Amino acid sequence: MLTAQQNTLIEAIEALDLEKVQATLAAGVDPNFVDAEKGPPVSILCDRLFQWWENICDAYQSSEPFADSKKQQDLQVYIDILNTLIAAKANLHLWDAEEFYGPLWDAASAACEPVVKILLDHGVNPNTKDDDGLTILSSISDLFFDCDFDEIDWSEALPEERATLETLRQAGAKMSKEL
């Protein structure tokens, strides 16, 4: 059972309330706990990136894609909260409660290359496997393109998808068949 302060931290992350996240952590809450349904705080944040990604996809589908500055502006609160959690010594390697996905998979599946890069820069392993035994690179390639990384037709990729997959690859991510 979570404490009231742990619940407050989760609520602040879900609301993308940076000031409340900072205040809760400053009050001494350790960000290294796992909510039985939602996972650890870093995973909760990275899972929320889907909303950011859905908004970008909707803009592409409406033939009015966002400018890079708009994408970055909308993403900034996520990055600020992630950096706040990192400063509070959050464990970036904890997976969700079911141990199927971790924060790197969540960020990659939201085609959020800036967050993927932050996680990789902090030593998150790009070659962990999901519940199907797929590496993150293979799993995300399949999610986006229904094929493995080496079979992607890049002409069908959105810039965010390509940047995310290429960042993973440059960081040493392997396809499942390469391990």
For the full predicted model, state whether its pTM sits above 0.85: yes
Across the range 60-65, mean pLDDT stands at 95
Residue 101 has pLDDT above 90, yes or no: no
Residues 41 and 44: their CA atoms lie apart, in Å, by 5
Residue 75 has pLDDT above 60, yes or no: yes
Whole-number pLDDT of residue 98: 55
Cα dist from 109 to 4, 7, 28, 50, 73, whole Å = 31, 26, 31, 8, 20
Tell me which residue range forms the domain holding 162.
4-178
Whole-number pLDDT of residue 175: 97
Please state the domain count of the chain.
Answer: 1
On average, the pLDDT of the chain sits at 94
As a whole-number percent, the residues of the chain with pLDDT over 70 amount to 96
Residue 160 C-alpha from the chain's centroid: 13
Whole-number pLDDT of residue 18: 98
The model's confidence at residue 100, banded by pLDDT at 50, 70 and 90, is low
Q: Which residue has the higher pLDDT, 38 or 174?
A: 174
Cα dist from 79 to 10, 86, 118, 134, whole Å = 16, 10, 9, 27
pLDDT tens sequence across 122-135: 999 999 887 788 99
Cα dist from 95 to 103, 151, 174, whole Å = 7, 28, 19
CATH of the domain at 144: 1.25.40.20
Across the range 12-26, mean pLDDT stands at 98
Residue 11 has pLDDT above 80, yes or no: yes
Residue 8 has pLDDT above 80, yes or no: yes
Whole-number pLDDT of residue 99: 54
**Residues 60/158, Cβ–Cβ less than 8 Å:** yes
